[in-house]
Amino acid sequence: MSVEYNGGMTNVPLRKKAEALRRRGFSYKEIFAEIGVVKSTLSEWLKDIPLKPEYRERLYTKQIEILSRGSKSQKERRAREIDAIVDSAINEIRFPLSDDAFKLFGAALYWAEGSKGKNFEIVNSDPRLILFMVHWLEIIFGIKPEVLKAWLNIYSQQDDLALKKFWSDLTKIPLARFGKSHTKPPNKGYKKNNLYYGTIKIYIPKGIDMKHRVYGWTRAVLQNLEDDILSTERRWISLKQTPRPVNLKTPL
């Protein structure tokens, strides 16, 4: 049971025991464990009792060890919690996926990661996403890997040919179907995320109509939101009237 400091009234036997423990180099936490007096009270009782250098060093070293263990322990505990969440979520998915689920999962990935321009292209650095999309293209559209084209975006210190072989081995896109890679210039800045395999862009020849079909599938899923989107856009029409930025590098 904790003992609170109350208006200057002091429990004499406890205070004397706390003082004795402090002189032996005990920390406030250790004294609390012995006599149950909270830190705020101990601070008042013991503020005039100096710690010997050897006791101060011990407490400092112990605090560093606690902080070190605590950080590592928290990190490991959180990692276990995340693993449990992921494992539970995996078990929520039933296989095999239905045809619609498979079709729409690929459509959603393309909507998020695919080209928004005129070509039917997917760009990403994640081997899992890329391999899924290659399989998805073959199953949904009958497009075999042999007809796809690919380009890499890599760093100057990476091995261009080795990376092409990696992606070719993964996707079964022939090496001959890989175009010239774009090599990023050296950068002195520190990069937090290393893209060990670079980034790959996969191009689907003659795929424009297929791309529009993919967007049609996503529109079908989202069509119930259309009224809300249109009404909100009408209320904020002024945002579309913002003038385009001026390119100062272009001579007038």
Element (H, E) at 203: strand 199-203
Q: Mean pLDDT score of the chain, rounded to an integer? A: 85
Question: Is residue 191 over pLDDT 90?
Answer: no
198: left (phi over 0), alpha (psi -120 to 50) or beta: left
Q: pTM to 2 decimals?
A: 0.65
Token digits of residue 6 = 């109350």
What pLDDT band is residue 75 in, cutting at 50, 70 and 90? confident
7: left (phi over 0), alpha (psi -120 to 50) or beta: left
Instruction: Map tokens 């239905």 to a residue.
Output: 98
Amino acid at 195: L
Residues whose CB is less than 8 angstroms from the CB of residue 156 and which lie 6 or more positions away in sequence, other chains included: 183, 184, 185, 186
Count of other CB atoms within 10 angstroms of residue 45: 19
Question: Is residue 1 over pLDDT 50?
Answer: no
Q: How confident is the model at residue 231, as a pLDDT?
A: 92
Average pLDDT over residues 226-240: 89
